[in-house]
Amino acid sequence: MFHKEGYTIIFITLIIAAALAWVASSFIELTWLSYLIYALATFILVAVLQFFRNPKRDFQLSDQKVFSPVDGKVVVIEEVVENEFFKDKRIQVSVFMSPINVHATRYPVGGKVVFSKYHPGKFLVAWHPKSSEENERTTVVVDNPFWGKVLFRQIAGALARRIVNYAKVDTEAKQASDFGFIKFGSRVDVFLPLDAKIKVTLNQKVKGGISVLAEK
C-alpha cells in the first residue's frame, strides 16, 4: 500500500525504469553495462516505492495517550518555550525521519483542529537546534477533551522540498489518521503540557500511530 502523495512520482519512476531497461536491452551491446543499467533502474524504483509506502496498521486509540505522529527516532525531549501559539513552556518531543522511514504523518491526538498554518523557511538539517523555528514547516493545533490543546509541527530538512498538510481549522481530527506527508524529509515536533508523563527516551525508535509518546 502506498501513500497517495506518491502516486504521480511512482508512475513517473516506473516509466523511467522501463525506459532504462528498454535502452539496456535494445541498444547496449556490452553485457556488464546492460546489467549496470538494469540495476540502476531497479534501485531507483525500489527506493521510490519504499519511501512512499504506507502500511496498514492496527491502531489502539486512547484519549489518555499521545501517539507518535511518524516513524523514526526520538531526537529531542526537553522543556522549551513555544513561541508561535502557546507562548509559554511546554515539553517538546521531536521525532526524526530518515529516508528509509514511512513518511506519512498522523494525528497524535484526536479532537478539533483550532490552528493550522504553513511557514516558508530555510532547509537546515532537521536536527539543527533552530530548524523548529527557521525551516519550512507547518504548525497544527488540536484541542483534545483530555489533553487540551496539543501542538505538532512538520519540519522540512535539508532534502525535503514539499510539506503536505491536510489539517483544516474547525474540522475534526481522528487520532492516528493521516494528516499529511513530508516529501523527502524529515522531522515532527510535538509540544505537550508540562504535566505529561513522557513514555519514550532519546534515540528510541518509534512508529507513527503505534508508539506512545506520553500519558497523563
- Active site residues per annotation: 186
* Cβ atoms of residues 5 and 102 within 8 Å: no
Grid cell of 1 as nine digits: 500500500
- Nearest Cα neighbor of 69 from 100, 108, 36, 33 is 108
Q: For residue 79, give the 3-state DSSP assignment.
A: strand
Residue with cell 537546515: 124
H helices present in 52-170, as ranges = 131-134
Q: How many CA atoms lie within 13 A of 112 on its CB side?
A: 5
Q: For residue 213, give the 3-state DSSP assignment.
A: strand
